[in-house]
Structure 1
Amino acid sequence: MNLLFVGINSKFIHTNLAIRYLYTYLKEDFKVDFTEFTIKDQQEDVTSHILDLNPTHVGFSCYIWNIQYISSIVKQLKRKDPALKILLGGPEVSYDTGHWFNTLPIDYLIYGEGELATKRLFSSLKNGYPALDEIPQLAYRNGQEIHINPCEEAVDFQALPTPYRLRRDFKQLKNRIQYIETSRGCPFKCSYCMASLENNVRHFDHEKVKEEIRFLMEHGAKVFKFLDRTFNIRLDYALDMFKFIIEEHHPGTQFQFEITADILDPQIIDYLNKYAPKNLIRFEIGIQSTNELTNRLILRKQNLEILTNNIIKIQKGGKIDLHLDLIAGLPKETYDSFIKTFNDVFYLKPHELQLGFLKMLRGTKIRKEANLYNYVYDENPPYEIIKHDDISEREIHDIHLAEEMLEKYWNSHRFDRTMNYIFDTHFHEAYYQFFEQFGKFYDEHYEQINHQLYELCTRLLGFWKHYGYHNEGELKSLIIVDYLTYHKTRPKKWYDNTITQFDSKQSKNKLIRLLLNHNLIDVDANTLYKYAQVEILSIHPNTYVEGTYIYVKLYHPHNRNHFIIDYQKLNL
């Protein structure tokens, strides 16, 4: 019996922790291996590779974003080798079990936490007495019938070997995200979330977790993402782990945590603001909605005043990057109330604001109650909302357009100066309105959203001209600075100077001579003439004060500084 566990990741930088747990838990008793692919790999290549390994049993780790890909692979495998036994596990197949047996040629399915059930299944098959009805959390075929066995106690974490020390992973540690589990379960009952179905929070041994992080850092790991649903549920543990990370992190590492902001203890905020190095720690905070009725309906308890104050305190510390989440399409969230939710949260100016759309996940309370709100949603993964009683399909479409602009122009951080100028001067506290209006313009005038950076620049400027907003020259100046700042080498020039009298190479050289003669820039002449990009701006890119400014950007291999000089200082 040859067992093979398969992980299908969305990107190469991701790692599948589930199949590593299964591999390390079973390898002492079985001939077992694991392999990984991404959803971008050719399915025929994946199928061939799996069969080349000669497994008798293949298990897949299933999620909403890979289940359609896996479904196709399973069908291909069964066509090529009907004797091959297929096992599915993971959150996407843990509910509506009969559906998967009815639609896919699978033999076994394990729902919920999988380590114990998987080991018992293969122990039974290996020893030749498949008393399958005695194996908890197992679903299986028996002729034309599907049997679903009841659940039992969860695995003892002490019995799980570490999945983090596999030698075969060492070469890729620095290039891939390391997913760290310090607990399983969630204390909250949000009706849209599968984590709400497992309210019993259980913690791993914290000292062992630290040892694994030390080991991974020593072998080159750079990015750590903690899988805990609410990392700060226990003050003592959270504070201890933050102290460990701050005191023992290696240069260049980053640690990401999902936290609940309105229960974040002031001790943690004060400690991080005082001791955390900048860019070491990143918080993901799910706000989802600021509509009180909506939050009550989805069983989401959050104190928005405390949440907002805590976020502001963290931002004032300047140490932690914040990633805030919203969900469009929640119950009783109208189009207008969603705009208010968006503007309430964007006002905090997070490093990233992720605008997601409600997904009617199998097993969740909200999916079971879909008829209460007349939800219409895609029947295929990821089961995204189309409309409900209080928000139309067209309104959802418009929010999608806004989300595309949010990703390209805010979350990308390619246009930081320009975006802040737009919101400070033209769309103050009307953040959503800008993104949607720009999205509609984009949708009407351009066929595709993925473009080179210079195209994003020209299209933002085109939007500004189309609606006749004033201060076009100032906006163009800021777009130019953002464009030049983003590049590490001298980029293609798609623009003319905002002040037309400075257009020629001779003008650039004349300006450099003037800067050197007036001692206004501490860079040698050869570097300036060879590596400098010189532009004339009609606004100061940091203060937004209108005037005439010389902007010098260096593209020297070892000097990429920039300089801003008030043109009046040349005394011309």
Structure 2
Amino acid sequence: MDMPDTMMTTRASCSASAGFGAKARLNVGLVAYNWEADTSLALWNLVTYARRTPAIAERVTFIEHCAATPKSLMDEEAQLFFLLKWQETHQFDVIGFSCYIWNIKFVLRAAKAMKELWPQTVIIFGGQQIRGSYIPFVFDRERCADICVGNEAEVTFRDMLLNFLDGTPKLSAVGGISYMKVAGDADRFHIFDGFGRVPADRLYHETADATLIEDINDIPSPYLGAIDLPMGGAFLYEASRGCPYRCSFCIWGESKGVREYEMERVEAELHNILAHHPSHIMFCDGTFNMRKDRAARILEILVEHLRDGRVQPFSLLLELKLEIIDDNLARVMDELVQLNPLVTFEFGLQSASQEAAKLMRRPFAEDRFRKAWNRLSDQLKSSAIIDCIYGLPGDGIEQFMQTVDFCYSLSPHRIQAFRLSILPGSEFERQAEEHEIRYMREPNHMVYETKWLNLDQMAWVETFGFAVADLYHFHGTTIKCLLTMKDQLGLTGFSGLIKSFVDWAGRERILGSIYAGNRPEGRWRAIDLSKLLERYVVNHLLADAGMADPAIVERLHDLFRYEVTMGRVAVGGIAESPLPALSAGGGAADLAIRVELMHSRFNIPAFLIAARGQSDIEIMDMDIADSHVAFTQKAGHQGVLVPISYRISGRMASLIEAARRDTAAGAGLAPILSKLVKIGIVAEAGSA
């Protein structure tokens, strides 16, 4: 197809363009897609720090677009056209993308589209994905970013803008950037056209290391007036930067040690964030509890706001090093969980193997880890996630199964299992040849094989790891009950049960149930394994062992139904049923019932509460007691739903069912409507 002459002219001139030229004014667009938040601390820090310089404050206009990472193809299309219209409207001179392993594929797609339509626009990539061998990969293969920024970017970004405005400092003197230079002139960079063509006189060039800020308190706080914070937003927050540890699979410890924000500033920032009633806060500190007293004080700020009702429960995620939690910090964490059931604490175990621990520079002592775990209350344990990684140098199948069994013995809320990714700039990237690691060069950089796992073994352990995470999360109580009967069932433990299930079901049926795309329910994994597990338990485990005791089978059946319902609520949510125009005060309101009901012969809620923190659960401890359970959900962030269950009376269940069938019957709910609204069973129609 012929291309219009005007377009050909534009493309041809830009393909040979170099440098940027002094600009009287700059129009800069900044884009961030974060998995955990719809705001961006990284972009806010760049802007607030750059604006300290008068020339930038007076001559540069910043417009940011922050959103959740697209979770489906439909979301991607919508975001892509939004960005294109955004650029058409604002005609940015420069667009900067914050790049991470979870968003880079979409960022590349968006950047290429920008280049195809506006080839003269300078595209800059920064963020944790832009490190190590991935930077030359971007220029060699992707050809849509004109400059890549490695490491921390506040100083680098400021200096680049000054170069674009007035040519000072020279581009070659700006630390921490890479670009295609004009041969013989490192101060002129190639601007890619929409075709990704590179003239013969362009050469890859890296400048000296970036200048890092000694005192991060020099960055003006985006949370204290510099940025308009959204009400009900999802926020990323860091009280410190860097990590004291240098784990080989990670890049947190690659920067300039650990630098902390002053506690007075942290307190003021958190007060202001909480005053905006957040839907979610994720602490991004490399090791949040590196200083235990400081960590306890930070969490006490949240506790104080929750205790006196200044803020309602919100989704909260913290990653901590378990072994350095002391009694005082554990006490504050426990009160936080009691006040806010939407809190999740994440602990990285990664591997219980000594060889793997040594190679990833992460010392592990089982007795120390278990002692620290036992310092936590049962309620706190039931809000905790333990992470483990398969495919680590030093670990084969047997070692990973031992890690899984150790995790199971602690009885956390969830066990997460991830295949190792070789992050750009990490120690394992530099050691790939030594450990015979073969991995994806494109994101998400997952390992195919190592010296300890060949390709077939990696395929099996991938299936095993998926089953571990999915079945423990959705059917952990059923599994704990089965394992108390392991001798009768011929099982060797948790990993043995999952191995038996994997071998029985086969790889295709298990991996075929993986969620499609990068959707929010991916955080929960899929629930398609429920049907497979039920068939495995009934038709294989119990049948082969000759265990047909009705007392056991009936209890397992109802417990399984309960877990399936909880899983369905977590992934799919609950359909709403309109309620008559009632409110707690008797006035009009647009309300809906948001609940799923289950009737059981057994008191399952009491059984689950009694089993908190336990790895051995006797199914016969489940009392016979006619029970009605109401399932509802708390809205988390980015569409992730938190399932909640309550034991209710038979009369209440009857009223809810009647109101669903006949809205006029909903009048019977009026006397207790305020309580139902508070616990989430009744809500404003259409609300999240």
**Alpha-carbon deviation of 1:138?**
2.3
- Percent identity between matched residues is 19
**Alpha-carbon deviation of 1:333?**
0.7
Residue from 106, 111, 136 that aligns with 1:98: 136
Further displaced range: 383-392 or 46-55: 46-55
Change (3 A) 1:52 1:437: farther
Indicate the SS of the match to 1:7: strand
Q: Is the Cα–Cα contact under 8 Å of residues 324 and 372 in structure 2 kept in the other structure?
A: no
TM-score by length of 1: 0.81
Q: Partner of 2:116 in structure 1?
A: 79
Q: Is the Cα–Cα contact under 8 Å of residues 603 and 626 in structure 2 kept in the other structure?
A: no
Unpaired runs of 5+ residues, structure 1, are 493-530, 565-572
Q: Partner of 1:36 in structure 2?
A: 66
Indicate the SS of the match to 2:125: strand
Q: Is the Cα–Cα contact under 8 Å of residues 151 and 210 in structure 2 kept in the other structure?
A: no
Cα shift readout 1:170-218 (whole Å, capped 9, x = no counterpart): 44x42x4311111111111111111131251100112111111111111
RMSD of aligned Cα (Å): 3.5
Tell me how far apart the structure 2 counterparts of residues 246 and 538 of structure 1 sit (CA, whole Å).
32
Q: Partner of 1:216 in structure 2?
A: 273
Tell me how far apart the structure 2 counterparts of residues 72 and 90 of structure 1 sit (CA, whole Å).
17
**Alpha-carbon deviation of 1:162?**
2.1
Q: Is the Cα–Cα contact under 8 Å of residues 225 and 257 in structure 1 kept in the other structure?
A: yes
**Which amino acid in 1 is paired with 2:137?**
H
Indicate the SS of the match to 1:92: coil
**Which amino acid in 2 is paired with 1:16?**
S
Tell me how far apart the structure 1 counterparts of residues 622 and 329 of structure 2 sit (CA, whole Å).
44
Further displaced range: 207-216 or 17-26: 17-26
* Greater RCO (Cα-Cα under 8 Å, separation 6 or more): 2
Q: Partner of 1:475 in structure 2?
A: 556
Query: What are the equivalent positions in structure 2 for 1:48-447 lying under 5 Å apart?
Result: 48-96=85-133, 97-103=135-141, 104-129=143-168, 131-143=170-182, 144-155=202-213, 156-164=215-223, 170-171=229-230, 173-174=231-232, 176-198=233-255, 200-249=257-306, 250-270=311-331, 272-273=333-334, 277-279=338-340, 281-316=343-378, 318=380, 321-411=383-473, 414-426=474-486, 430-440=493-503, 441=505, 443-445=507-509, 447=512
Change (3 A) 1:116 1:467: same
* Corresponding position: 1:544 with 2:619: yes
**Alpha-carbon deviation of 1:420?**
2.7
Further displaced range: 2-11 or 35-44: 35-44
Change (3 A) 1:69 1:554: closer
Change (3 A) 1:423 1:53: farther
Q: Partner of 2:50 in structure 1?
A: 26
Q: Partner of 2:585 in structure 1?
A: none
Change (3 A) 1:292 1:165: same
Further displaced range: 45-54 or 447-456: 447-456
Q: Partner of 2:537 in structure 1?
A: 464
Tell me how far apart the structure 2 counterparts of residues 556 and 372 of structure 1 sit (CA, whole Å).
52
The count of residues paired between Structure 1 and Structure 2 equals 520
Cα shift readout 1:139-181 (whole Å, capped 9, x = no counterpart): 233221233221254224233222235798644x42x431111
Q: Partner of 1:561 in structure 2?
A: 647
Q: Partner of 2:41 in structure 1?
A: 17
Further displaced range: 244-253 or 535-544: 535-544
Tell me how far apart the structure 2 counterparts of residues 539 and 31 of structure 1 sit (CA, whole Å).
59
**Which amino acid in 1 is paired with 2:258?**
V
**Alpha-carbon deviation of 1:401?**
2.0
Change (3 A) 1:540 1:180: closer
Q: Is the Cα–Cα contact under 8 Å of residues 464 and 472 in structure 1 kept in the other structure?
A: no
**Alpha-carbon deviation of 1:283?**
2.2
Q: Is the Cα–Cα contact under 8 Å of residues 35 and 102 in structure 2 kept in the other structure?
A: yes
Tell me how far apart the structure 2 counterparts of residues 450 and 108 of structure 1 sit (CA, whole Å).
35
Further displaced range: 333-342 or 139-148: 139-148
TM-score by length of 2: 0.68
Q: Partner of 2:685 in structure 1?
A: none
Q: Partner of 2:6 in structure 1?
A: none
Residue from 510, 513, 517 that aligns with 1:448: 513
Change (3 A) 1:168 1:185: closer
